[in-house]
With several copies, the nearest count.
Chain A
Amino acid sequence: MKLHEYQSKRIFAEHGIPIPKGEVATSSDEAREIARKLGGPVVIKSQVLVGGRGKAGGVKVAKNVDEAEELADQILGMDIKGLTVDKVLIDEAADIREEIYLGVVIDRALQKPVVIASAEGGVEIEEVAKTNPEAIKRLPIDLPVGLMDYHARNLAYDLGLRRVFVNQFIRIVKGLYQSFIDTDASLAEINPLVIIEGEKLLAVDGKIVLDDSALYRHPELVELRDIQEETSSEREARLAGLSYVKLDGEIGCMVNGAGLAMATMDIVKYYGGAPANFLDIGGGAKSDKVAAALRIILSDSKVKGILFNIFGGITRCDEVARGILEALNAVPTDVPMVARLVGTNEEEGRQILAQANFPSASSLGEAAQKAVNLAKGA
């Protein structure tokens, strides 16, 4: 789960990281009032959970209160990569001298959190990794030991930070690391951390991505979820406990198991089709889950054919077959479908589908080919 910039920065501030003064507005009137209270120039920043807000025109500087109102009015309601802006953050504009990147992520190879820093802030760290990998400094943290002052100090000197910033930097690195740990994040990032007038560091933009598996420990963070940022399909999938990712193709896929679901997408492509989605119904899915999955797939108007691929281990093929038929009763459609059910209770599953004249296939390859052909015929 991603947090908005303003939510992330508030968490950072609670951990002692300096952030600009600012507040969130949902109307241009509010924006004007906030700008008036802040005084001086402000930045109006759209709060949507996608990257590239700046390029899309979702971040603007206003020199005065009138401009703030006007720009907020422009940005609110704007569409950025399919998401409608309904909140803007009004921050005091900072006099930026230099920009630093600072982030904490889990390093999969080291199996521990790693602090990543670069003196080239303000751009995406992946970009720096390509153009100037030397500029990126990495500090792996042993979780049981934690982040000690000397770790952060070594990082500061590695980064070539001037001495006047070192102690501030240590506090910020520790605050960011603690934000990461305290929220069970998978990413906590300040980009950029800027040097402003008076030799001070300030976190002007921030981002936290939470570990969904750990949300149960953080009910207060779950409340921060912005449901307006989910499509209705994503929402339905989340509530039904399905793993769903919308793609651009025309073959809807319903599979049990993430690896198999990806393999199914790949095979659809191999046979000349394009997958419309990734969808894993998980292990031991019952018919109601299958029905929910089918509804989600059918809600995508691009879908011209649907492929069911079930390898029954915990999941029972007869349950899935019944689920498909139930869902079709509830959501009638003329999109052609083909099912391939193997494993636990495969005979029963096939019989149920055969009785309903539902097309089936015995191998995954055959099923994918059929689905692609059906979709072309449709």
Chain B
Amino acid sequence: MAILVGKDTRLIVQGITGREGGFHTEQMIEYGTTVVGGVTPGKGGEWSHGVPVFDTVKEAVNATDANTSIIYVPARFAADAIMEAADSGIKLVICITEGIPVLDMVRVQSFLVHKKVRLIGPNCPGLTTPGEAKVGIMPGHIHKQGNVGLVSRSGTLTYEVVQALTDKDIGQSTAVGIGGDPIIGSTFIDILRLFESDPLTDQVVLIGEIGGTDEQKAARFIAEKMTKPVTAFIAGRTAPPGKRMGHAGAIIQGGEGTAAEKIKALEAVGVKVGQQPEEVADIVAGLI
């Protein structure tokens, strides 16, 4: 296990009997992830994909000793699901759900602030420690075990970069999608800190995009705390201000959050920024 998920992960799936939840449970099990149960209120006692289904997370944790939960429930139930997981002894919650109202996430974050729980997401692809566990929706076959940590605000763009690395025979320790929403449970800095102290990670790739100032903060953190090399890719150089580019978090507002200022901040602290996924892989490989 590099960071967050691995062989020790005992996963429950909130929303296991839904279309999305069911499909990805199957994919995760196939990848080798230890899925120990699922939760769907009203369906406790049934079985789904070979694991027991419970009505509440509390029951699921009591029965299965789960330590991690992944959430696929519809947006209007997601805040409740995250808080339920956090209240039931789960230590790591990954929320895949897209479209959660911002104020719901404000509420969730203020609820989590005094709890010992890490939230990844929402609106994220989850995370994969190649060869050990895939918790989320990343396609499993693109990964290769190795020593490069990945952290990204994006979904398919992450796959693109992972693929580019794997194509050049560069393996990954853990790939983490932190999500594209304005309010997320774990930021770049949270994940960079974990990679910095992870013995199985030798260098890190950071995939950012327009909107907010998390990449700039990450740059400060890299300058102050990181000894491992970081390579970056920032999407949205051509994005116009004032328009939301798909992700709720990807919007240049009040002149803040442009790709140019993020790239500048990262380069200023010695981070090399690739212009294409392939270029990122070349930098990581030491070719550039």
Contacts and interface: CB of A to CB of B under 8 A. Distances in A.
Per the CB under 8 Å rule, do A and B touch in the complex? yes
Interface in B146-169: 152-160, 163
Contact of B103 (A157, A214, A258, A274): A214
Contacts of A149: 77, 80
Given A214-B103, A217-B101, A265-B238, A365 B276 contact: yes
B239 interface: yes
B55 interface: yes
A268 to B, nearest CB: 8
A111 interface: yes
B110 A154 contact: no
A111 B105 CA distance: 8
Interface stretch (A17-25, A36-44, A72-80, A306-314): A306-314
A351 B226 CA distance: 46
A302 interface: no
Contacts of B22: none
A211 B101 CA distance: 7
B210 interface: yes
Interface string B246-276: 1111100011000100000000000000011
B87 interface: yes
A167 to B, nearest CB: 8
Interface in A106-162: 106, 108-109, 111-113, 125-126, 129-130, 142-145, 148-150, 153-154, 157
Interface stretch (A219-227, A275-283, A292-300): A275-283
Contacts, number: 202
A329 interface: no
Contact of A259 (B209, B212, B275): B209
B76 interface: yes
A184 B23 CA distance: 32
B243 A214 contact: no
B160 A143 contact: no
B131 to A, nearest CB: 19
Given A257-B155, A257-B156, A270-B275, A150 B107 contact: no
A111 B160 contact: no
A97 B257 CA distance: 35
Contacts of A258: 154-155, 180, 209, 245-247, 250
A259 B247 contact: yes
Contact of B138 (A212, A274, A313): A313
A344 interface: yes
Contacts of A260: 154-157, 160, 235
16 contacts: A143-B103, A148-B84, A153-B41, A213-B100, A214-B103, A245-B240, A256-B156, A259-B153, A259-B157, A260-B155, A262-B235, A263-B160, A266-B236, A266-B237, A313-B156, A364-B278
